Homo-oligomer: A and B are copies of this chain.
């Protein structure tokens, strides 16, 4: 156990993923742009550029390949992916559109430190070594430059032989505009929706490449769009369209042409593709590389599919004529994929520097490696198709994604409650979400629709009726408004929202506290998709957190009456909740007969029982309940709900953790009295809850316990069982998983109040040599503290890498200093 605990602290190393880690898929793509992922074999997969998720969606004929010719030796050509992994059990073998039959690199290793992926290829047949660096710029506090529809793909080739090597790297890409479908044999479907597609070779402003578009779809059409594959390198070879032949001629001609001399012969087609057909284009860069020399083959992949349905789903969308289509934010900046590529070229140096600065700031941290992994691994959520970002600035999120559709619409308040990543990295987008919630979704009664739909002329219905308010979601959103205000120091934001925040706050007592005792006991819809009855600390702590936040906001705005009322309510509520819910060990649900209503938890030990308290810690609101009780309760959650083996666990609900894995249950009944049918999900494991509990454990001083949970989660996301960049709950890239950012806040003892212009660090691990990333609504950078071995004194420093933090006071190591 000592060893195990030591291991919780010792290493900040990151894992890498060999080519057989089939589940590892590293997302490229910006905020609201869609994605394409790189797998551990170096393959491009999961093409999700088309305003919808696309897990498992491949593009035919789309891969990079390398040709090398060492002097006086035979040329060697390979696809720049490592070998395919078992099973190989398709009913008709691998189809030629997958190029599965072409030689591939012997091995690959994916080193993904989000937002940058690096892949090392290995193959003895080649006289060179090849590495790929792939990323889409990500710069915290700069959503626009983190929302570019494109990616840099730089292959670095080192000649490890003793002679000059001629090298060509070719990227091949099908023109997917209009849509690609397949027949049962895996052939391109004879009636696929695309057609009139054209790949144009362009050379201008330092870029050469293929611009892929279609004459078929007008600008306002959902299918309208284009892609570009370009390079700034000067030595270029290309084939605008592969052979328009029968059977498998297309691949044979391309490969033979490429292998012959490492140059491509354009076939001279000058017409658009026929209706229901499209073309594959190839762009190559060639270089002569001296022994020992490394050369870069730089490609930029960009896309432009600006139009999406103006809604969440086909059945939840604007139907008013002329308003059926919404435009992506990126379409307000760029008029084509070519323009995006040009921007990426022009701003290459800055975007790379800032992106790598952020990556290094995060990964140079002395936090344990798996903690940083948990932070970075869930960052892709906000750039995945779980989220979208419209031209009018509106930022919206599903809960997660199905393979091919968003999963659960409406920026669901009770799911997004847990998420911290977006708030700390792109606070203006979180502010936008609060605006939607308070300014559009709170009605006159103060009820907030917990799924935002009004912007799409719809209302969230449930079981044929307008859905109820969600107690946890609504109250948590008030706390989040407080967070956004404090992170940004933006009083105007607070003022704009305050009247509605107040309404939403007051609604709680009208709706859920009919007996007026300042705790909620009426039917309360919560995040488990059911209604809780009776007093419980899940909604109870949220009420306390909201009251405390509301009191401070009211006070700041000079609304002293409200401030006092909320403070008074807080005191009463906190006491009453203790009376009714504390069982001496943890907080329970007050119900005489737990089976009177289906799906309750009663005397169970609920992992989320103090979620509101955890959020209060992260947001700087302090204790809501008796600190001693809080500590005891959160430890009970760990003690009873964290399982180090699931082989004997009987779960009749959904299964996210199994076999010899470790994980934290949503609930357990350590002393019996389990309801016959406890709330659905109670026997499940959700990473979003695991992180919030881990964060809370750390706040209460149970650091080993907290870290053990985090380590367990990330061990499950090992690339073989699950994707390190995709934590699943009710969908891929589940928003709740962004609770992981709370770990950074808790471990670094970070707090930030940009209203008061203060920032505080008080790390709870590795204090003698501690480095962390930090961020506020005004800037981000690194914090470092070091204990001088001789003097025993602590030195500390803050580096601001981005933004303007001038005038901010820092409290750390018992000192205070001004930035």
Contact = CB atoms under 8 A, between A and B. Distances in A.
A91 B721 contact: no
A93 B652 contact: no
A349 interface: no
A650 B400 contact: no
Contacts of A91: 55, 400-403, 407, 728, 731-732
Interface stretch (A8-16, A113-121, A496-504, A654-662): A654-662
Contacts of A101: 649-655, 658, 683
Contacts of A23: 86-87, 89
Contacts of A729: 92-93
A251 interface: yes
A567 interface: no
A347 to B, nearest CB: 35
B100 A658 contact: yes
A248 B676 CA distance: 12
A188 interface: no
Contact of A83 (B84, B256, B647, B680): B647
A654 B248 CA distance: 9
A405 interface: yes
A790 interface: no
Nearest to A718: B86
Interface in A61-94: 77, 83-84, 86-94
B651 A92 contact: no
Contact of A92 (B83, B249, B654): B654
A252 interface: yes
Nearest to A245: B677
Nearest to A679: B247
Nearest to A98: B655
Contact of A247 (B83, B100, B680, B726): B680
A96 interface: yes
Contacts of A680: 247-248
Residue of A86, A650, A676, A723 contacting most chain B CB atoms (<10 Å): A650
A193 B658 CA distance: 33
A interface secondary structure, majority = loop
B650 A728 contact: no
Residue of A655, A676, A722 contacting most chain B CB atoms (<10 Å): A655
Interface in A380-405: 400-403, 405
Residue of A246, A659, A732 contacting most chain B CB atoms (<10 Å): A659
Contact of A96 (B185, B245, B652): B652
Contacts of A514: none
A541 B185 CA distance: 31
A276 interface: no
A651 B94 CA distance: 11
A509 interface: no
Contacts of A721: 86-89
A89 B722 contact: yes
A259 B648 contact: no
A490 interface: no
A93 B650 contact: no
A730 interface: yes
A684 interface: yes
Interface in A727-773: 728-732
Given A84-B658, A90-B728, A677 B401 contact: no
Given A401-B91, A728-B89, A647 B103 contact: yes
A738 to B, nearest CB: 17
A673 to B, nearest CB: 15
Interface residue range, chain A:
35 or more
A37 to B, nearest CB: 13
A654 B86 contact: no
Interface in A252-275: 252-253, 255-256, 259
Contacts of A88: 655-656, 658, 721-722
B102 A650 contact: yes
Contacts of A248: 652-654, 680
A793 interface: no
Nearest to A84: B658
Contact of A652 (B252, B658, B728): B252
A783 interface: no
Contacts of A89: 23, 721-723, 726, 728
A219 interface: no
Contact of A86 (B647, B676, B720): B720
A811 interface: no
A773 B781 CA distance: 77
A103 B400 CA distance: 28
Nearest to A656: B93
Contact of A402 (B22, B94, B184, B723): B184
A352 interface: no
A95 interface: yes
A50 interface: no
A599 interface: yes
A220 interface: no
Interface string A598-631: 1100000000000000000000000000000000
Residue of A402, A656, A676, A730 contacting most chain B CB atoms (<10 Å): A656
Contacts of A293: none
A125 interface: yes
A249 B595 CA distance: 14
Contacts of A400: 91
Nearest to A259: B650
Interface in A141-194: 184-185
Contacts of A730: 92, 185
Interface string A517-529: 0000000000000
A656 B88 CA distance: 8
A126 to B, nearest CB: 12
Given A55-B91, A87-B721, A91-B731, 13 more contacts: A84-B659, A89-B723, A90-B728, A92-B654, A101-B649, A101-B650, A101-B652, A102-B652, A103-B647, A185-B730, A247-B680, A248-B653, A253-B677
13 contacts: A83-B658, A89-B726, A90-B728, A91-B400, A92-B729, A92-B730, A100-B655, A102-B651, A103-B648, A103-B649, A106-B647, A184-B405, A253-B677
- In order of increasing CB-CB distance, the 10 nearest A-B pairs are A101-B651, A94-B655, A101-B655, A251-B652, A100-B655, A252-B652, A93-B654, A86-B721, A93-B656, A247-B680
